[in-house]
Amino acid sequence: MNTATAETTAPVSPPAAGSTAAPDSASASDPALPASAPVPVPGPLAAPAASALPEAPVRVTVVVGSDREGRFGPVVADWLLERIGERDDFAVEVVDVAAASLPTALSHDPSPSVAAALAEVSPALDAADAFVVLTPEYNHSFPAGLKNLIDRHFTEWRAKPVALVSYGGISGGLRAAEHLRQVFAELHAVTVRDTVSFHGAAGAFDTGGRPRDPAGPSAAATAMLDQLAWWARALREAKERRPYGG
């Protein structure tokens, strides 16, 4: 699976309207200023306006929610990672439930092996500004292994946005995605409106792992990732000004 980190070059916002305009010629006739008062003109050494500084990329952790033997999940994950990698506003990490080896019995005092397993995944959840959670649908919901990973963390999800990518049989995993919205609400996380879903997933991709009809899924991914980036930046700025108190 591709776990590459996306390039981090962020677009440079245009300066705020009027912020670099030289003062108008009113100063020449302003009685408060001597006629020879120098007019400050921004030069190359002038500090850039705050809005012109490049924005830090959104750190997004992609959670691969399926751990079934022979699973289809990595095909969907690789496609999604390619879409994210095409953009310059995300830096990506991957947490794969199948690689996490977390027992389902919760404990306040995890054994050394469970603590070691958590140490493999928790930092990537904690460091994230945002998440994309990939889920198949099993019996109208999401997999137990994904729920276990979610339940083993709390602050890591808190006040962060979550985007959902689902796949399955005829329903495209949408019932699993809607169940996840309820779970993440309990964890003070916000799920973004748009999702990407693949119904009849195994038949929706060719043998090279590409969607047979890529336009729709790509457009859906763009809309979803745009929303995720907006929420991640908005919440990051808000938390810098005021810690989340919920």
Contact residues for ligand FMN, defined by CB under 6 A: 66, 68, 71-73, 136-140, 167-171, 201-202
Q: Considering beta carbons, is residue 62 or 229 the nearer one to ligand FMN? A: 62
Tell the smallest beta-carbon distance from residue 229 to ligand FMN (Å): 26
Tell the smallest beta-carbon distance from residue 84 to ligand FMN (Å): 19
- Given the DSSP bridges, would you call strands 58-64 and 130-136 parallel, antiparallel or unpaired? parallel
Q: Considering beta carbons, is residue 66 or 191 the nearer one to ligand FMN? A: 66
Q: Considering beta carbons, is residue 205 or 231 the nearer one to ligand FMN? A: 205
- 150, 63 Cβ separation under 8 angstroms: no
Q: Considering beta carbons, is residue 129 or 137 the nearer one to ligand FMN? A: 137
Count of CB atoms within 10 A of residue 2's CB? 14
Tell the smallest beta-carbon distance from residue 144 to ligand FMN (Å): 10
Residue-wise over 120-141: b if at least 16 C-beta within 10 A, else e? Answer: ebbebbeebbbbbbbbbbeeeb
**Looking up tokens 């009849």, which residue turns up?**
200
Residues 6+ apart with CB under 8 A from 184: 150, 157, 162, 190, 191
Q: Considering beta carbons, is residue 101 or 171 the nearer one to ligand FMN? A: 171
Tell the smallest beta-carbon distance from residue 112 to ligand FMN (Å): 30
- 225, 83 Cβ separation under 8 angstroms: yes
Tell the smallest beta-carbon distance from residue 92 to ligand FMN (Å): 20
